[in-house]
Amino acid sequence: MMKREFTITVYTENQIGLLNRIAILFSRRKINIESLNTSPTEVESVHRFTIVINETEEVVSKLCRQIEKQVEVLKAYYNTEEEIVWQELALYKVSTDAIAEKVKVERLLRQFGARAVAIRKDYTVFETTGHREETDKLIKELEPYGLIEFVRSARVAILKGSHDFHERLKEFEQKEPGEDVIENEYLDKKEEVFTL
């Protein structure tokens, strides 16, 4: 099986130390995490981990089952890039003089949908969102004009077919402790993530 990019989504209770325990599952298997984001969800007290890795589907499937064994984890599943809507935020620090003097840079930033978020005498910070290839392309375009610094956020992702997903998550959270864990499967219809 060939390695490919997968986005793992983990729904958890908000507990101290859980991130460390999940990270250990990856390091024990020598799996590099390409991107990691944690955030609250639309359900109070439930958090979402969005983790991007390059691995085979078999390894990712086993890894999700291991993650689900953590007491505070409600559900873990994985998706390919085609099954999710995702973005990353990028910030670019550029010399203010270069921006002021070169109209071409301003046009370039508009072309990439970038907007200024901080303007100082010596530098200007721009932000844009997009896929990694798009934000990387803007780096290359800005380098000749004095790109001072660049940073990109972790991926944020939402399922394409997730109608009433938060309702299912609430139901899943209210299930009695001790019920059997539902084995993670790579489903054709991702809207049926939970078999409740």
pLDDT tens track for 90-122: 999 988 887 777 667 778 888 899 988 998 989
Domains of the chain: 4-79+161-192 (3.30.70.260), 85-152 (3.30.70.1150)
Q: Could you read off the pLDDT of 117-152 as tens digits, one per residue?
A: 998 989 989 999 999 999 999 999 888 888 899 999
This prediction's pTM? 0.76
- 168 or 100, higher pLDDT: 100
Instruction: Look at residue 192 in the predicted model and tell me its pLDDT.
Output: 41
**Spacing of C-alpha 168 from chain mean position:** 21
Q: Who's near 42: CB < 8 A, 6+ residues apart?
A: 166
44 within 8 A of 11, measured Cβ to Cβ: no
- C-alpha span between 94 and 147 (Å, rounded): 5
